[in-house]
Structure 1
Amino acid sequence: MTTSAITASGLRKAYQDKAVLDGIDLDVAAGSVFSLLGPNGAGKTTTVNILTTLVKADGGTVRVAGHDVDAEAEAVRSAIGVTGQFAAVDELLTGRENLQLMVDLSAVGGGKRVVGELLERFELTESADKPASTYSGGMRRKLDLAMTLVGNPRIIFLDEPTTGLDPRSRRTMWSIVGDLVADGVTIFLTTQYLDEADQLADRIAVLDRGRIVAQGTPAELKRQIPGTHVRLRFSTVAELDAASRVIAGSTRDDDTLTLRVPGDGGTKSLRTLLDRLDEYAIAAEEFSVHTPDLDDVFLALTGHTTEVPAK
């Protein structure tokens, strides 16, 4: 495999007269987590369907695991695993039987050993012989991902893998994703949780109205959005009055006795601010640095406050 696990250039797709993808470019490094964000209707699901050979693009080129998705679809399918938004497990079968079915369909050698290793890896051994219908949502998602790993795919597409899970189950899934990447697996992630992308993704692309409107690391995207500031809290109104007079450009909040001071959050600007307070013998009871998060980035780029699951 090349250093790029997935590449797309000029990718286009339209349904009737509506352009869903309007010439997008992607480059996903091998052994990384790449997250695609976008509001409902942005084209995320269409992108994943094209990359996984389920839908043909109208234009552009796509290579997955070094293979052209049109000319070498079978080779692409043998290199990838796909976990959809809803767990695709057979609830009439036990967890062990679900995994064994995938082993049999994939013609993987060492079937019982593979099943046992996956059950242990995903902490499903104790429930292995219970019907999947008795599993919690988190257990179903773990079983679904375990089934995806049969055949040892080097590229995995995760479509909103933690939707509907409780916080503990989400954290478990995050840990599993981290372990997969540590083993060299590439993860292509779509998610409705911006904190999840912030936590997991090495790079993020924001898709809106069929175009990539921003791309970079989470930190790079946050730096594009203004709003970094220092918040100073004082113990008395007199101190707040004094500070607001000597710090230009600040905004006060009398109810909380706080002062908001725009800045870049760097040590140099912080030192200058604190020296300014010290010069006038003003002491802040508390200070904190606030930076834009991915919600702010998403709102600025798409006009939406949060991600909406694609249908």
Structure 2
Amino acid sequence: MNILSSQPIITIKHAKKQFDQVSVLKDISMSVQKGEIYTLLGENGAGKTTLIKMMTTLLQQDSGEILIAGLSVKDQPDKVRKLISLNAQETTVDMFFSGYENLQLIARLRGVKDVKAEIEQLTQRLGLKEFIDRRVAEYSGGMRRRLDIAMSLVGDPEIVFLDEPTTGVDPKNRLEIWRIIREIRDSGKTIFLTTQYLDEADRLSDHISFLHQGEIVLTGTPAELKKNTSKEIKITLETAQQEQGKVLLEEARIQFTDEEGLIISEADQQQALELFVAHELTILALKAEEISLETTFLMITKEQNK
């Protein structure tokens, strides 16, 4: 990984947006460092795509400030567009063109001097060589997505916005897209990523923000986010005593999940153990499970909804 710059390449201060009296983004502030993968997580309707449209000059914020490399997206949109590319949820490839023709069109629009060399480099980089002369209508969904990402890299942009790039992609192509995303980051570029897949965010991100109901509710590295949430404890009882253990937890109003063992929060560990010992249940194993980003997100959003 490259060394991150001390100066943020994206700065957002108190940005707000509403549609028809509905507040979609309610005072968003964040900063993204040059050369990192910054991921925005949130459920459908949280405002992720709206925020990306604002950062990429497709939509103006109602108030607040958004700066890309020190340039205002509101006042200097043309200069901002020269630094960025956007890979939207819906692929922008022309189905009747070949992969080569799609890349050629974008290269010409972006003013690339050596179009042929640019296409050859991207074709090799994204594993498109075998398919590049075929019509895009013949591509699989995963191959089409990879071509779409290749089109986002034409002209060597400083910041690549990827809006849910692996939605609907099969597992093999998903792993390949992950490799490409890391490679883009390691080449010194900045990636702003949105996704609904928490495992994707966990594996790829340098920093993550949780967007919930139009507000940033938590920000940090994947390790920091999981560290700040109490661990889960997995208690394994004798098989014949499992049902009795569940009944005891229910009576004590201790929340749990039953996944080849009774999984409870770290805060409830002492009470549960005392309960099992008092009823002479045999505890075969006790293990602290690392919290997942999914659990962290669910706990945060549950707390926010109270």
TM bucket by the smaller chain? 0.7 to 0.9
**Are positions 1:63 and 2:60 aligned together?**
no
Q: 1:222 to 1:256 in 2, by over 3 A?
A: closer
- Tell me which of 7, 10, 25 is aligned to 1:6: 10
Matched with 2:292 is 293
Matched, 1:109 2:108: no
What RMSD, in angstroms, separates the aligned Cα atoms of the two structures?
3.1
Contact 1:233–1:287, Cα closer than 8 Å, also in 2: no
Query: 1: CA distance between counterparts of 2:67 and 2:150?
Result: 25
SS in 1 for 2:57: coil
Sort the Cα spacing of 1:289 and 1:23 in 2 relative to 1 into closer, same or farther, 3 A: same
Deviation digits for residues 101-121 of structure 1, max 9, x if unmatched?
111111101110111111111
Q: Residue 184 in 1 paired to residue 183 in 2? A: no
CA separation of 1:299 and 1:111: change in aligned 2, threshold 3 A: same
Q: Which residue of 2 aligns with 1:24?
A: 28
**Taking structure 1 as reference, are residues 252 and 42 closer, same or farther at Cα in structure 2, changes over 3 Å only?**
closer
- Aligned partners of 2:255 and 2:264 also within 8 Å: yes
Q: Deviations over 1:240-287 (max 9, x none)?
A: x9xxxxxxxx9999x9995768659xxxxxxxxxxxxxxxxx995x66
Q: Deviations over 1:67-114 (max 9, x none)?
A: 111111111100001001122111111111111111111110111011
User: Is the partner of 2:82 in helix, strand or coil?
Assistant: helix
Contact 1:234 1:257 in 2 (8 A): no
Q: Supply the AA of the counterpart residue of 2:230.
A: P
Closer/same/farther in 2, CA of residues 197 and 256 from structure 1, 3 Å limit: closer
- What is the TM-score with the length of structure 2 in the denominator? 0.82
Q: Distance in 1 between matches of 2:162 and 2:259?
A: 43
Distance 1:261 1:195, change over 3 A: closer
- The secondary structure found in structure 2 opposite 1:142 is helix
Verify the 8 A CA contact 2:233 2:286 in the aligned structure 1.
no
Aligned to 1:269: none
Q: What does residue range 144-159 of structure 1 map to in structure 2 within 5 Å?
A: 144-159=148-163
Task: Report the TM-score, using the length of structure 1 for normalisation.
Answer: 0.81
User: Number of residues paired by the alignment?
Assistant: 281
Q: What is the one-letter code of the residue matched to 2:204?
A: L
> Who is 1:272 aligned against?
none
Q: In structure 2, how many angstroms separate the alpha carbons of the residues matched to 1:141 and 1:257?
A: 38
Matched, 1:125 2:129: yes
Which ranges of structure 2 fall in alignment gaps of 5 or more residues?
A: 246-253, 268-281
**SS at the partner of 1:36?**
strand
Identity %: 40
